[in-house]
Amino acid sequence: MTAPTTTRVQQHTKARVNERIREQIERNITYYACIDGKEDGALDARLRELDHEWDIERLLEANAASFFLLGLVLGIFVHAVWFLLPVAVAAFLLQHAIQGWCPPVPVFRRLGIRAAAEIDAERYALKVLRGDFDEALRTAYGSCADKAARLLESVER
């Protein structure tokens, strides 16, 4: 009944839409792999962009909250029938939490809105290009806790 957290959106997205999003990620990574430092700061700038990119979950939450509040305000000031809007929004959010799908998902996906895992895939590929993990992978000294701390530090950069 519940889909895996990291792939639930992709599982409920048409294959051609997923492929289009994946191809865009590959083009982005290819671009930064090919410039190889020729554009100073470009890779860092892209990583900052990715840090601020809204994933589909955040977009759904913001839209749901907006429609929920709209339904409450219209229910109070216009007509009680508008109280059905927050009920519908809550049902869609619950469905999305359980299955990874709700009516807005296909629309957002066709618009190119990515899941967090897709944004993270590009982010970590670019971090590998930048060399963020080089030191953590080279250092084999220290206790297991030291190694774990260095790895975590590398991932959090």
- Span 18-55, pLDDT tens digits: 999 999 999 999 999 998 766 779 999 999 999 999 99
Range of the domain at 37: 10-124
- Mean pLDDT across 1-22: 90
Q: Would you list the DSSP string of 22-77?
A: HHHHHHHHHHHHHHTTSSTTHHHHHHHHHHHPPPHHHHHHHHHHHHHHHHHHHHHH
Confirm whether 77 is domain-assigned.
Answer: yes
User: What are 85's two structure tokens?
Assistant: 């809007």
| pLDDT over 90 at 117, yes or no | yes
Predicted pLDDT at 60: 96
- Report how many domains make up the chain: 1
